[in-house]
Amino acid sequence: MIFLAEWWDLRDLGNPVGKLLELLGDHGPDWLPYVVSAMVGSITIVVFLLVSLLAFAWVERRLLGRIQGRLGPNRVGPWGVFQSIADAIKFVTKEAITSRNVDRWMFWSAPVLVAVPVLVVFAVLPFGEGMVLADLNVGVLFVIAVGSVTAIPIFMAGWSSNNKFSLLGAMREVAMLISYELPQVLALLGVVVFAGTMRMSGIVGWQDEHNTWLIFLQPLAVLIYLIAGTVEINRTPTDIAEAESEIVAGYHTEYSGIKFGMFWLTEYFAGFAITAIIATVYLGGWTLWGLEEWVPGWIIFLAKLYGLFWLFIWMRGTLPRLRIDQLMGFAWKFLLPVALINIFVAGLEVLIWRENDLAAEVVLPGFAIANLVLAGVLIVVWGRFLGRARPSWRPARARLVKELGAVIYGQES
């Protein structure tokens, strides 16, 4: 994309900001542009997240309504679009109860701290070419590191609430975050191996340069990352940390009002963070095979992000929840070995490519097909290995009988 550098050229939102900084640099003290650029960046991210949240809190409820054969919110404003604003007002005005025996400091600080890591993740994610707050050269590492910090405020919330259900929920959350960190990291490493950089904009640039998306080269890794991401943002089928049929509401059982609102909001933010990472790393970020020349890159990026978020809503409307030990077993027994094999194969492929100096146009389609086949074979074979295809697991209808009195317990049909 050519930098026209006219401030009204909104294909790159950096243009107006750059113009503003230029003006400030010319007429103000030296430090002012630095402060202003940081503030503009962070405020933009927060505003973007809040607007997306308000929009998607409504979209999710409408979509779930459609999935479930009902209308969803339709009272506040046309089609209920202001429902999320009404909810936000409710969260703010409700009393935030602090029960008597809680650890007050931790109880109050947990909902504030929990929102920080997910906000920080967005600092390294490019919304468009050059539209990134901090283009770190270790962006992938930063995302992983910051993402795992969430466990601490959540555990603080569960521990300080002085409630068994809260503590159980927090323990589950921490155990899950730690277990799913590994497959998540391994899934992202496959990307790093291919792109040869940890810089987020570098990964997008690599995909643009080779005219491909990493989802084609790393189909298994996308799947692993999506599952691990679902666990991290605590939505069905992995909302075990707040499974309402088991442990009431998990770590935020004792929270109400805006303090609960912060947890709820953080979950959405984390969802946007996961989808943003997938969109950047696996789906080519702001690029769309030349369309970014015509449409602003940030619109393409947001379209990908929101499209992926739709997947989470769909899953929530369809799938039941796993048990905690099954979920943990899935991470360690299934995802981790499969991710290891995946990264081994990715390394091998890159080695072959680099050593023999092959042309990218030739090898990349080959790798894509090979990895797709590998993904399918690996899932089936490893599933069989773990015994998922036992005949007794297959659903059978209840047997129909006409006469009474006999017992057919234990007889397989």
Partner 1 sequence: MTMKSEPFVVNVGPQHPSTHGVFRLRLTMDGEKIIDAEMVVGYLHRSMEKLAEGRTYTQNIPFTDRLDYLSAMSNNLAYCMAVEKLVGIEVPERGQFLRVIMAEFQRIANHAMAISSFAMECGVWFTPLMWMFREREKILDLFEMTCGARLTTNYVRIGGVSFDIPPEFMPAARALLKEMPERIAEYEALLMENEIILARSRDIGVLPPDLAIAASISGPVLRGSGVMWDIRKADPYAAYDRLEFDIPVGTRGDCYDRFLVRMEELRQSVRILEQALDMLPGGPASVKVPLALRPPAGEAYARIEAPKGELGFYLVSDGSPHPHRFHIRSPSYINLTPLRDMVVGLTVPDAVITLGSIDIVLGEVDR
- Please report, as ranges, the residues that interact with partner 1 according to CB under 8 A: 64, 67-70, 164, 236-237, 239, 243-248, 316-326, 392-393, 395-413
Given a contact cutoff of 8 angstroms between Cβ atoms, the answer to whether 61 and 73 are in contact is: yes
CA–CA separation, 328 and 333 (whole Å): 8
* 74 three-state secondary structure: coil
CB burial string 329-347: b at 16+ within 10 A, e below: ebbeebbbebbeebbebbe
Is residue 147 a contact partner of residue 182, using CB atoms and an 8 Å limit? Answer: no
Nearest approach, Cβ of residue 146 and partner 1 (Å): 29
Pick between residue 29 and residue 395 the one whose CB is nearest to partner 1. 395
Which CB, 12 or 60, lies closer to partner 1?
A: 60
Query: 330 or 367, CB closer to partner 1?
Result: 330
Q: Residue 393 CB, nearest distance to partner 1 (Å)?
A: 6
Closest to partner 1 by CB, 315 vs 370, is 315
In the complex with partner 1, the residue whose CB is nearer, 164 or 354, is 164
- Minimum distance of partner 1 from residue 224's CB (angstroms): 17
- Listed in order, strand segments (DSSP E) in 261-374 are none
Please answer whether residues 251 and 158 qualify as being in contact, where contact means their C-beta atoms are separated by less than 8 angstroms: yes
- Yes or no: say if 147 and 117 are a contact pair by the CB < 8 Å rule: yes
Region of 49 on the Ramachandran plot (φ > 0 left; ψ -120 to 50 alpha; else beta): alpha
Angle between helices 32-67 and 257-281 (to 10 degrees): 100
CB nearer partner 1, residue 359 or residue 396:
396
Structure tokens at 52: 């997306």
Least Cβ distance, residue 409 to partner 1 (angstroms): 3
* CB 411, min distance to partner 1, A: 5
| Nearest by Cα to 302 from 61, 133, 128, 136 | 128
Give the Cα separation of 4 and 332 in Å (integer).
51
* CB nearer to partner 1: pick between 323 and 354: 323
| Amino acid making up residue 94 | K
CB of 260 to partner 1, least distance (A): 16
Kindly state the smallest distance separating residue 321's Cβ from partner 1, in Å.
3
The phi-psi region of residue 103 (left if phi > 0; otherwise alpha if psi is between -120 and 50; otherwise beta) is beta
For residues 24 and 159, what is the distance between their CA atoms, to the nearest angstrom? 48
Neighbouring C-alpha atoms within 13 Å toward the C-beta of 196: 9
Q: At what angle do helices 83-93 and 32-67 cross, to 10 degrees?
A: 110
CB 218, min distance to partner 1, A: 24
Instruction: State the nearest-atom distance from the C-beta of 357 to partner 1, in Å.
Output: 45
Picking from 108, 66, 347, the residue whose alpha carbon sits closest to that of residue 217 is 347
Q: How far is the CB of 230 from partner 1 (least distance, A)?
A: 13
Q: At closest approach, how far in Å is the CB of 257 from partner 1?
A: 20
The residue (of 325 and 357) whose beta carbon lies closer to partner 1 is 325
User: Between vectors from CA 7 to CA 5 and to CA 13, what angle results, nearest 5°?
Assistant: 85
* CB nearer partner 1, residue 78 or residue 320: 320
On whether the CB atoms of residues 218 and 350 are closer than 8 A, the answer is no
